[in-house]
Chains A and B, each alone.
Chain A
């Protein structure tokens, strides 16, 4: 199974990269774009056929390593490969 994981800064935590991009978009004329958040995208294969088990593992990976839950939030989806 393939896990597709997104990690972003929590809402409410200043994302200076997002702000810089927002200003750049604004200067390009995309004045209706706002709340830009920059994050990380990770993909990994889990050798597991049981979706619930795979999900529990991916959640644990996110909590222990892939995200720092003090400042970041994560979401993931699992797809059959």
Chain B
């Protein structure tokens, strides 16, 4: 598979993503500068974490106007797999590829630590290798991860199984104490209505190999590759 890692000015997890797909999972990786206008030949894309455009105005607010975003919208519309991690999630929200918005963490602090998330939907292209309800330990590192949306949209996310990950305690119980940032309904990750776009605050690329003491994040990328292998046609974007 050929996985595109989108690089914005200020992305800083781009090489971690590259490392996981290339070295850990043995795939081809193409680094895609944000000025690119085509994603032709890519099987899936990842929007990495970081501080695109210095988080000016709002996280992801400026990056969403990068030329590559038009191609990503087309890619997503044609069914291509898109995953946004942390700042990548924030960009997908600002771009309207996923519903909702991010507020400052309830504590006002930048929170950098391992958290537990429960797999609420194991039937997505990103979680197929997980068990329903499985608890994953994945680190977070953000100051704006307090997910918010209006009550109608939230009800839609719940009804359509679009909430993919919820913050939970190590036993898998979704409690207010397990919520590191004040996210509505303990939301850690959501997917699009069509299911091919995922946004999540935890960093699976930082927990994808034994050497780092945690392999839980690898399940997501392995799921993604498995799902792509099952696709009859190569996804080609305009």
- Check A16–B148 contact: CB distance below 8 A: no
B228 within 8 A of A: no
Is residue B101 within 8 Å, beta carbon to beta carbon, of the partner chain? Answer: yes
Task: State how many angstroms separate the Cβ of B174 from the closest Cβ of chain A.
Answer: 20
Contact with B along A49-78 (1 / 0, CB 8 A): 000000000000000011010110000000
A14 at the interface (CB under 8 A from B): yes
Q: Are B182 and A70 in contact (CB under 8 A)?
A: no
Given A9-B103, A14-B103: A68 in contact with B108 (beta carbons within 8 A): no
Interface class of chain B by DSSP: loop
| Alpha-carbon gap, A49 to B152, bound state (A) | 41
- Asked whether, in the complex, the Cβ of A65 is within 8 Å of the Cβ of B61, the reply is yes
A24 CA to B111 CA, complexed, in Å: 22
B107 beta carbon closer than 8 Å to chain A: yes
Q: Which of B72-131 contact A (CB under 8 A)?
A: 94, 100-101, 103-108
Chain B residues with CB under 8 A of A28 = none
CA distance A9 to B148 in the complex (A): 12
Asked whether, in the complex, the Cβ of A68 is within 8 Å of the Cβ of B105, the reply is no
Shortest CB-to-CB span from A70 to chain B, Å, is 4
**How many Å lie between the Cα of A9 and that of B101 in the bound state?**
12
A13 at the interface (CB under 8 A from B): yes
Please classify the interface of chain A as helix (H, G, I), strand (E, B), loop, or mixed, using the class held by over half of its residues.
mixed
Contacts of A65 in B (CB 8 A): 57, 61, 65
On chain B, the number of residues with a Cβ less than 8 Å from chain A's Cβ atoms is 17
Interface residue B19 (Cβ < 8 Å from any Cβ of A): no
Contacting residues, chain A, for B104 (C-beta < 8 A): 16-17
Asked if A20 CB lies within 8 Å of chain B CBs, one says yes
Known: A16-B105, A16-B106, A16-B108. A68 touches B100 (CB 8 A): no
Using CB atoms and an 8 Å cutoff, list the residues of chain B in contact with chain A: 57-58, 61, 65, 94, 100-101, 103-108, 148-150, 182
Q: What are 18 sample pairs from A and B whose C-beta atoms fall under 8 A apart?
A: A13-B148, A14-B103, A14-B182, A16-B103, A16-B104, A16-B105, A16-B106, A16-B182, A17-B104, A20-B108, A40-B57, A65-B65, A68-B94, A68-B101, A70-B100, A70-B101, A70-B149, A71-B101
- Taking A68-B58, A70-B101 as known contacts, 12 extra A-B pairs with beta carbons closer than 8 A to each other, sorted by chain A number, are A14-B182, A16-B103, A16-B106, A16-B107, A65-B57, A65-B61, A65-B65, A66-B57, A68-B94, A70-B148, A71-B103, A71-B148
